[in-house]
Amino acid sequence: MLHSRPELVGTFGMVTSTHWQASAAGMAMLEKGGNAFDAAVAAGCVLNVVEPDQNGPGGDVPIILWSEKNQKVEVICGQGVAPSAIRSEALRDMGLDVMPGIGHLPVVVPGTFGAWMRVLHDYGSLTVRDVLEPAVSIARDGFLLTPTVANVLSRGRDFMVEHWPTSAQAYGIENGAPEAGTLYRLPQMADTYERVIHEAEAAGSDREEQVEAARRAWYEGFVAEAVDTFMREPVMDTSGEAHAGFLTGDDMTNWRAAVEEPVTLDYGDYTVCKAGPWSQAPVLLQQLALLKGFDVGAMGPNSADFVHTVQECAKLAMADREAFYGDPAFVDVPLDVLLSDAYNEDRRKLISGQARMDLPPGSIEGYGGEIRLRALGSTNVANAQMTVDGESDAPAWQSMTQFQAESHGDTCHFDIIDRWGNMISATPSGGWLSGSPAVPGLGFPVSVRGQMFWLDDDHPNGLQPGKRPRTTLTPTLALHQDNPYLVFGTPGGDQQDQWALHAFLRHVHHGMNLQEALDAPSFYTDHLPSSFYPREWDAGSLAIEEHFPKATLEELDRRGHKLQIYPQWTHYNSMTMASKVGPMLKAAASPRRQCYAVGR
C-alpha cells in the first residue's frame, strides 16, 4: 500500500487540520504554554481566514472535547438558530418550495465566534490577543491563495460585482480575480479581529472578563449592529430575485453557544461520542449499530464486501436521518430506538447482495416525517450567470442553481491533543464567501445554514423561529476501554460521517495506523437528499477512488452500484485523526486537499 507520509508520534502535543497554517498556529499555542483548547481557538480562527471558500468568522461549528479537568466528554454547539421573525409560510408566499441556497433568506445566527469564545473562557488559559493574533497577522500580511479559492473567486466575480458589491470589495476582486499561488490578503477581516482584541483589552486585565468582552463585541456590539443593518437590504439569491433577511441584532444578542452531553454508542471496546440530532452526527453511530451484525474484521479493507456492506448501511442510516432528525429543543427524536440493537437488527434485514435504489426509512409510531426526493438536475431557477471555464477564456453559461450547487462552500476540520491529555475535535464551516454577501466593514459573510431546513411545518427538520437547522457538521471523539483515545473528522457535507466511519473501521478492525487509514482508497454515496441547496439526490451512486483493486470495482459494478471512479486521492475526503495511549500521542492528515499534521 502506498503511503503519503508517516504517522506522527510524540509526547508533547499534536495538531492536525485541513490547512498547514492552522496546524502551525495551533502548535504555536502549545509551544507558548497553552493547552489544546487555546490551540483550537487559534487554529479555528486561522481556518476562518485561509479557507474563506470553506468557512468564515460568521459561520457555524460543532465541537467535541475531553477535558482532563472535568474528566468527561462534552459537546459545544456553535450552530446558530433561525431568526425569531422567520416563518415557512412567508417563504412559501414568495413562491418558494425549498429554501434558497444563498443570499439573506437562509441566514442564521452566526455561531462560530461565540463557540470559540466559550472554549477559550471555560477551558482555555491564554488571552484573546494570544489566540487571535495569528489570524490577524495572516489576514493582514497575506497567505497563499490555493487553486480552489482562486477558482471560486474567479467563477463568482461577475455575479459579486453586479449583485454583491460588498463581497467584491471585501475579497479584492473589483478589478479582476487574483491568481492561484499569489499572496492574498483580507484586510477588512484583519480590522474586525483587531477591533475585537482592543475591545476585549479595554475590559481590564482579567482574562475571563476579556473573553466575555470579545463575545459581547461580536453579539451585542459593532458586529451585531453591522449585521442587523445589512440584513435590511435586499440582495440577490437563488430565486432570481433580491430579498431582505430576517436576522436581527436581537437574535444575535439572545444566542449563546451551549455545552451539551454527547450521544454515545458502545462498539466493541470503544465508546463513540457524537453531537445530537441537530447535526447528522448520530448517523455514524447508527451505521456502527447496523454493522454490529457483520464480521467487518473478516472483510478485506479494500474488498467489495467491505465497501458494499458499509455503503448499504449508510443508505439506511441516512434514510432515518432524513425522516427523524431535527433540533431536539423543538422535536422529540427517538435516538434510543434508532440506535438500539433490536431496531437495527430489523433494519439490517433490508441489506442484500445488491445495491438498493430506494431510500426506505424505518417506522417508529408517532415519529418522523416524509422524505422528499428531488431528482438530480430537476431544480429550475431563474437568473443565469456567466462564468469563465477554467480551461479556456471562452464564456460558459450556467444557471444560478448550477453555480450554487457546484460552488457552495464546504467545511474545515481539526483535531488536537496536548501533553496533559486534553482532546478537542471541531468542524468549522459556514460563512462561505459564495454563500451570502460580505457584511459591509466586517469583511466576511454570515452563515446560510438555514438552507438545510425544509419548508414543511410538519417535518422534524422543518423551519421554525429559534430552531437549529439539522446540519452536516460532525466531529467525533472515541473512548477505548473507557479511556479518551481518538479524535477525528473531515469536511465533506453529507459525506462526513461516511469518510469518518471508513477510517475508524480500517483502524479498529484492520489494524491500520492513523495515516494508513487516511491514505486508503475512499468512497461515498449521494444516495440521499443533499443537505445543501437544491436538495437533490443521486440514486444508487457510488463515488470511489481508482486505487481500489480492479476486482473490487468490477464486483461493485456487478452488484448494481452506479460507479463514479475518481483518480487516486482526488476525493474531497480531508480526514484528520489524533490519538493518545498513555503518554504517546499520534496524528495523521489526509493526502487530499492541503491537510497537515504537526507535533512533537
SS3 labels along 299-353: CCCCCHHHHHHHHHHHHHHHHHHHHHCCCCCCCCCCHHHHCCHHHHHHHHCCCCC
Which residues have CB under 8 Å from 370's CB, separation 6+? 323, 456, 459
Check residue 5 and give its pLDDT: 87
Cis before 534 (ω within 30): yes
Domain that holds residue 511: 263-373+476-599
- Specify if 195 maps to a domain: no
Check residue 2 and give its pLDDT: 62
Check whether 240 has a pLDDT greater than 50. Answer: yes
Can you say whether the dihedral through the CA atoms of 213, 218, 219, 222 is positive or negative?
Answer: positive
Check whether 95 has a pLDDT greater than 60. Answer: yes
Grid coordinates representing 3 are: 503511503
Check whether 393 has a pLDDT greater than 60. Answer: no
Whether 427 and 22 have beta carbons less than 8 Å apart is answered as: no
- For helices 207-219 and 128-141, the axis angle rounded to 10 degrees is 50
- Specify if 362 maps to a domain: yes
- Specify if 267 maps to a domain: yes
Q: Rounded to an integer, what distance in angstroms lies between the CA atom of residue 449 and that of residue 472?
A: 10
Rounded to the nearest integer, the mean pLDDT of the chain is 92
Q: Rounded to an integer, what distance in angstroms lies between the CA atom of residue 319 and that of residue 342?
A: 18
Higher pLDDT, 374 or 384: 374
Query: How many Å separate Cα 34 from the centre of its chain?
Result: 26
Confidence of residue 537 (pLDDT cuts 50, 70, 90): confident
Nearest to 281 by CA among 539, 505, 477: 477
Whether 530 and 558 have beta carbons less than 8 Å apart is answered as: no
| Average pLDDT over every residue of 472-478 | 96
| Average pLDDT over every residue of 469-474 | 95
Q: Rounded to an integer, what distance in angstroms lies between the CA atom of residue 312 and that of residue 356?
A: 7
Check whether 385 has a pLDDT greater than 80. Answer: no
Helix (H, G, I), strand (E, B) or coil at 11: coil
Check residue 191 and give its pLDDT: 98
Check residue 262 and give its pLDDT: 98
Question: Could you give the C-alpha distances from 70 to 40, 206, 423, in angstroms and in order?
Answer: 18, 22, 12
- Specify if 394 maps to a domain: no
- Specify if 8 maps to a domain: no
pLDDT tens by residue, 199-213 = 999 999 999 999 999
pLDDT tens by residue, 262-312 = 999 999 999 999 999 999 999 999 999 999 999 999 999 999 999 999 999
Among the ranges given (140-144, 419-423, 430-434), the one the predictor scored with the smallest mean pLDDT: 430-434
Q: Rounded to an integer, what distance in angstroms lies between the CA atom of residue 299 and that of residue 179?
A: 46
Supply the CATH number for residue 281's domain: 3.60.20.40
3-state secondary structure labels for all residues of 350-393: CCCCCCCCCCCCCCCCCCCCCCCCEECCCCCCCCCEEEECCCCC
Query: How many Å separate Cα 540 from the centre of its chain?
Result: 24
Check whether 404 has a pLDDT greater than 50. Answer: no
What is the β-pairing status of strands 235-236 and 242-243? Answer: antiparallel
Confidence of residue 108 (pLDDT cuts 50, 70, 90): very high
Grid coordinates representing 459 are: 417535518
Grid coordinates representing 72 are: 468527561
Q: Rounded to an integer, what distance in angstroms lies between the CA atom of residue 556 and that of residue 550?
A: 10
Which residues have CB under 8 Å from 365's CB, separation 6+? none
- For helices 112-123 and 128-141, the axis angle rounded to 10 degrees is 140
Helices (H), 94-248: 112-123, 128-141, 147-163, 165-170, 187-201, 207-219, 222-231
Provide φ and ψ at 112, rounded to 5°.
-60, -55
| Average pLDDT over every residue of 33-49 | 98
Nearest to 46 by CA among 171, 115, 133, 127: 133
Q: Rounded to an integer, what distance in angstroms lies between the CA atom of residue 260 and that of residue 574?
A: 26
Q: Rounded to an integer, what distance in angstroms lies between the CA atom of residue 384 and that of residue 401?
A: 8
Check whether 400 has a pLDDT greater than 50. Answer: no
Overall number of domains in the chain: 1
Q: Rounded to an integer, what distance in angstroms lies between the CA atom of residue 153 and that of residue 388?
A: 11
Check whether 397 has a pLDDT greater than 50. Answer: no
Concatenating the DSSP letter of every residue in 530-566 gives: -SSTT-EE-TTEEEEETTS-HHHHHHHHHTT-EEEEE
Confidence of residue 396 (pLDDT cuts 50, 70, 90): very low
Check whether 409 has a pLDDT greater than 80. Answer: no
Give Dmax (Cα) for the chain.
Answer: 68
| Average pLDDT over every residue of 464-476 | 96
Nearest to 434 by CA among 158, 41, 22: 158
pLDDT tens by residue, 1-12 = 567 889 999 999
Confidence of residue 399 (pLDDT cuts 50, 70, 90): very low
pLDDT tens by residue, 538-586 = 888 999 999 999 999 999 999 999 999 988 877 678 899 999 999 999 9
| Average pLDDT over every residue of 365-376 | 83
pLDDT tens by residue, 309-362 = 999 999 999 999 999 999 999 999 999 999 999 999 999 999 999 999 988 999
Check residue 387 and give its pLDDT: 30
Grid coordinates representing 342 are: 433490536
- Specify if 308 maps to a domain: yes
Check whether 472 has a pLDDT greater than 80. Answer: yes
